[in-house]
Chains A and B, each alone.
Chain A
């Protein structure tokens, strides 16, 4: 994280929700974790190169994982002014170390920044090993992120998702969702369909469309769980004008597709019925929910079920 968009301590003091977040968030949630560190034996020139290359303004100096000092651009300037850029990092680093614990609340770090004239805090774990680095910019970013999460997160996601298709220009834009469905996995049965329904809702589908598609893929998902040899896949392709849902497996195939489409006809076992399935309404339900349904089934290649829902502008 960079130092951009820094919120001054003064401003932060006036915003109560930010203060609250300061007490809620832990330093570990906002700190930078991929920390560039220097060895004390590094020359100041090498440190300068690394600072430029990594676009940072300072770094902790560590020896065997323990922080022994900190180098900032100020120290580099001092070395340059002295004409001693070839000296070791250990000669110029600040040693009066101020650190903070990763488990501390962000507000503790804010207090340190307010009281002490430091730009960055090395963050240590309970064994005093370096786990991160914290700047005011990190805190600002962390707070803004948390605020954003706070602020009607679901609506934001939904808004962004529903504008996805408008934002992208192509001859044909589509979003494809894929789910692997495992044979006999009743525990997770229906989970994929609920994810699909939620995704459609977020993408801006009406309640009615999301519900109908949800029912269709749920039935297809349960069929994969109950009736296949090795499970199968659900694939949903979302386009601005239609939703194509597909369920496919590699066997054993449907003996008599016409019969399978008869309301109440089921080949489910007693055990499956006891779980609440096998009403013989699966394909019937699907057909009544979607605009087009096609089944291709054979003993050799398994079953492919295509379901299409056309959308008009209002949906």
Chain B
């Protein structure tokens, strides 16, 4: 599923103009605690979160997340938006709750990209 489709499905407002909206999103993950995100998200997912600070962007970059949806109508501040633009990471905010967003995306066919514990099988 493309970035633009994900944003559309969760009634999101894109905050980063000029980013590539055709990037492929392979799955979804929801969480408010950044260590939980790092512990169990697979790469190339959308992160749906109720947390709204610059660490969300930095966490996403570390975890190779390709899109952030800030749920519950939380509109990120300029600092967050600017960091995302600088790092070329699309971010959007949605009036919907996290459960609702996850539900809609799942229904639209986007799989969960949450790993069950325990993590990172040796490859």
A contact residues vs B (CB 8 Å cutoff): 186-187, 189-191, 193-194, 197, 207-208, 211-212, 214-215, 218-219, 222, 263, 273, 275-282, 284-285, 288-289
Are B34 and A279 in contact, CB atoms less than 8 angstroms apart? yes
B62, A197: Cβ atoms under 8 Å? Answer: yes
Residue of A nearest to B117 (CB): A263
- Tell yes or no: B111 within 8 A of A by CB: no
In B109-123, which residues have CB < 8 Å from any A CB? 117-120, 123
Shortest C-beta distance, B82 to chain A (Å), equals 13
- Is B72 among interface residues, defined by CB-CB distance under 8 A? no
A285 to B62 Cα, complex, angstroms: 13
**Extra pairs beyond A190-B54, A215-B62, A282-B35 (20, CB < 8 Å):** A190-B55, A190-B58, A190-B59, A190-B61, A190-B62, A218-B62, A222-B55, A273-B33, A276-B34, A276-B53, A276-B59, A277-B33, A279-B35, A279-B39, A280-B35, A281-B35, A284-B39, A285-B38, A288-B119, A289-B120
Least CB distance from B105 to A in Å reads 21
Cβ distance B52 to chain A, nearest Cβ, rounded Å: 9
Task: Give every chain B residue within 8 A of A193 (Cβ-Cβ).
Answer: 58, 62
Bound form: Cα–Cα A215–B42 in Å: 12
A194 touches B34 (CB 8 A): no
In contact, B62 and A211 (Cβ under 8 angstroms): yes
Q: Does B63 contact A (CB under 8 A)?
A: yes
Decide: B123 and A218 in contact? CB cutoff 8 A: no
For chain B, give the interface size range. 20 to 34
A214 CB contacts on chain B under 8 angstroms = 62-63
Interface contact B62-A189, CB-CB below 8 Å: no
Instruction: Name B57-84 residues within 8 Å CB distance of A.
Output: 58-59, 61-64, 79
Inter-chain CA distance A186–B117, complex, in Å, is: 28
Known interface pairs A275-B53, A276-B56, A289-B120; A197-B33 also in contact (CB < 8 Å): no
Closest Cβ of chain B to A275, distance in Å, is: 6
B63 touches A211 (CB 8 A): yes
Asked if B118 contacts A288 (CB within 8 A), the reply is yes
Determine the chain B residues whose CB is within 8 A of the CB of A282 once the complex forms: 35
List, sorted by A's number, 18 A–B pairs whose CB atoms are closer than 8 Å.
Answer: A189-B54, A190-B62, A191-B58, A194-B58, A194-B87, A211-B43, A211-B64, A214-B63, A215-B62, A222-B55, A275-B51, A275-B55, A279-B33, A280-B35, A285-B35, A285-B38, A288-B118, A288-B119
Taking CB as reference atom, which chain B residue is nearest A225?
A: B55
* A196, chain B: closest CB distance, angstroms: 9
Query: Given A186-B53, A211-B64, A282-B35, A218–B58 Cβ distance below 8 Å?
Result: yes
> What is the CB-to-nearest-CB distance from A267 to chain B, in angstroms, rounded to a whole number?
14
Chain A residues contacting B58 (CB-CB under 8 Å) are: 189-191, 193-194, 218
| B100 proximal to A (CB < 8 A) | no
Q: Are B55 and A285 in contact (CB under 8 A)?
A: no
Q: Is the CB of A186 within 8 A of B55?
A: yes
Residue on B with the closest CB to A191? B58
In the complex, A285 Cα to B35 Cα: how many Å?
7
Instruction: Choose among B38, B53, B56 the residue that contacts A218 (Cβ–Cβ < 8 A).
Output: B38
Which chain B residues (24-62) contact chain A, with CB distance < 8 Å? 32-36, 38-39, 43, 51, 53-56, 58-59, 61-62
Query: Which of the residues A194, A275, A276, A281 comes within 8 Å of B62, measured between beta carbons?
Result: A194
Q: Are A207 and B43 in contact (CB under 8 A)?
A: yes
Distance, CA A215 to CA B123, complexed state (A): 17
Chain A: CB-nearest residue to B43: A211
Residues from chain B with Cβ under 8 Å of A280 in the complex: 35
Q: Please, which residues of chain B bring their CB within 8 A of the CB of A208?
A: 123
